[in-house]
Amino acid sequence: TAKTFKLNTGASIPAIGLGTWQSQPGEVGKAVEAALKAGYRHIDTAFAYGNEKEVGEGIRASGVPREEIFLTTKLNNPDHKRVAEAIDQSLKNLGTSYVDLYLMHWPSSTDPNDSKKHYPDWDFVDTWRELQKLVGTDKVRAIGVSNFAIKNLERLLNDPSSKVVPAVNQIELHPGNPSPKLVAYNTSKGIHSSGYSPLGSTDSPLSNNATLEKIAKAKGKPPAQVLLLWGIQKGWSVLPKSVTPSRIDANFDLDGWSLTDEEISKIDAIPDRFKVCGDSWLPIKVFFGDDE
Ligand code: A2P
């Protein structure tokens, strides 16, 4: 679908973006190329994925003009004290002069010499102050955050040095981790929610969910499409990852039908909770139960 959402900058973000976390070298470039040829105009990557260079190659191989594409990348945790260098490195990797969205990947300023250590003298509010300096340059069209819980967003928004409201908070969103309070909080502050792992990621517990299967069957659509439309109809953009051309096509093919309010409520009521991405690998806690 070519559907878009509006950001607080006035720019539009396409409702479907290709996710590239865990897409392997040697296949991610082809996936990006296939997605753009299938009609996607939104690609999500990160320095930490180690694939920016190949993502850039895929964009160029597609022949789709750069300015037609909404491209997101993210600041790596060990780079919080060197934002200016980090964006330049990402732009160089991607082979582009700007990104549409630059996100603070995690609210965790990690010591580059010891990934188990959080900088004692550097907070994500300091990082945000540095990111704000990029606004108005020709390197980024918007800045935002990722993996921010309400508690951390409040701290960021209430700090006197914060002049820019994040355009986006990219968070894990699927029926196993629906985070309704966090999504409502984002919306109340004018922050667009973007959902990663919308299918529940690799070996998803949602892949054989009876409620989803029933709705998918009634609609005559694959369960993956039901999951993506559920997110879009609830108001967030979705970032399905695939390196399989037929799935890349299917995940974009969402026009001409919709879920009823009753079907959405049934999906909302799926009780099983799970998270794809925890915070135990980080030096600090960033999730506080229900992400809230
Ligand atoms: P693959 O990349 O091998 O095609 P998420 O977007 O939640 O992170 O989920 C990504 C996982 O879901 C990957 O393992 C991906 O496999 C798989 N996947 C992506 N699209 C579909 C689809 N339409 N149907 C089934 N599985 C899919």
Residue 292, pLDDT score: 67
Is 49 known to be catalytic?
Answer: yes
Q: In a mutational test of the pocket of ligand 1, which residue from 24, 202, 246, 276 has the highest number of ligand atoms less than 8 Å from its CB?
A: 202
Boundaries of every domain in the chain: 4-208+232-256
The answer to whether 87 and 133 are in contact (CB under 8 A) is no
Reduced 3-state DSSP string for the chain: CCCEEECCCCCEEECECEECCCCCCCCHHHHHHHHHHHCCCEEECCHHHCCHHHHHHHHHHHCCCHHHCEEEEEECHHHCCCHHHHHHHHHHHHCCCCECEEEECCCCCEECCEEEEECCCCCHHHHHHHHHCCCCCCCECCEEEECCCHHHHHHHHHCCCCCCCCCEEEEECCCCCCCHHHHHHHHHCCCEEEEECCCCCCCCHHHHCHHHHHHHHHHCCCHHHHHHHHHHHCCCEEECECCCHHHHHHHHCCCCCCCCHHHHHHHHCCCCCCCCCCCCCCCCCCCCCCCC
**CA 203 / ligand 1 centre spacing (Å):** 9
**Tell me, what's the ipTM?**
0.99
Residue 243 CA: nearest ligand 1 atom is 2
Using CB atoms within 10 Å of the CB of residue 138, give its burial: 0 to 12 exposed, 13 to 18 middle, 19+ buried. Answer: exposed
Q: Compute the distance from residue 148 Cα to the ligand 1 centre, in Å.
A: 24
Catalytic choice (40, 49, 185, 196): 49
> 22: CA distance to ligand 1 center in Å?
11
Tell me the pTM. Answer: 0.98
Q: What is the pLDDT of residues 90-145, one digit of tens each?
A: 999 999 999 999 999 999 999 999 988 999 899 999 999 999 999 999 999 999 99
What residue owns the CA closest to ligand 1's atom 6?
A: 240
Write the residue with the smallest CA distance to atom 23 of ligand 1: 247
- Ligand 1: residues with CB < 6 A are 19, 197-202, 222, 224, 240-244, 247, 250-251
CATH number for region 4-208+232-256: 3.20.20.100
The whole-number pLDDT of residue 115 equals 86
Q: Which residues of the chain have pLDDT under 70?
A: 290-292
**121 phi/psi in degrees, rounded to 5:** -105, 20
Report the separation in Å between the CA atom of 204 and the middle of ligand 1, taken as the mean of its atom positions: 9
Report how far residue 72's alpha carbon sits from residue 143's, in angstroms, rounded to the nearest whole number. Answer: 10
Q: Whose CA is nearest to atom 13 of ligand 1?
A: 202
Q: Which tokens sit at 220?
A: 């005559």
Please indicate if the annotation marks 174 as binding a ligand: no
Distance 199 CA to ligand 1 centre (A): 7
Helix 124-132 crosses helix 83-94 at what angle (to 10 degrees)? Answer: 60
List the residue whose alpha carbon is closest to atom 17 of ligand 1. Answer: 242
